[in-house]
Amino acid sequence: MSELTLFKSRAGTMGYVFRNGKTVHFLGGVYATAAKDEIEELTKECENGHPNYFIDENQKTIDSAMMDPMAVLRAQIKQEILDQMRANDPSKDMGSYGTGKLEGIATSANISGAAAASESQAAASGAAGGIRPAISVNLKK
């Protein structure tokens, strides 16, 4: 992730209006930014002894990932679960997928073409009869 410059406020929630009119909020007593003009302006305010904003000498920067520690924790837990699933059953095909339009599939009748292009071992080996349409519809007049 990227490094952000960290500014702190003496109150839990405070606002600041930059000279260009942009408003930011110090939530939980902190505001982090990578914008050069914001860093320069807030640094000058702190150096000039602003009574509400300051730079903590023990924590001048912060990793952007740490601004949302729950997101970091969720990603770690997800990876641990996937690693555990792979370790418990290495033969299990986790598959892979891509996004986008499925080419050459107009109806469920010709979905078997997609099964041939699949990276799944089950589809490639034809396990359980391969992929078959759930319904076959014949529209005869």
Tell whether 82 is covered by a domain: no
3-state secondary structure of 31: strand
Tell whether 39 is covered by a domain: yes
Distance between CA atoms of residues 91 and 21, nearest Å: 59
Tell whether 88 is covered by a domain: no
Q: What is the pLDDT of residues 85-141, one digit of tens each?
A: 888 877 776 666 665 665 665 666 666 555 555 555 555 555 455 556 666 666 766
Distance between CA atoms of residues 117 and 121, nearest Å: 11
What is the 3-state composition of the chain as percent helix, strand, coil, each rounded to the nearest 5?
40, 20, 45
pTM of the full predicted structure? 0.50
Which domain range does residue 58 map to?
Answer: 3-67
DSSP conformational letter for 27:
B
Amino acid at 137: V
Tell whether 24 is covered by a domain: yes
More confident residue, 103 or 82: 82
Q: What is the pLDDT of residues 18-49, one digit of tens each?
A: 999 999 999 888 999 999 999 999 999 999 99
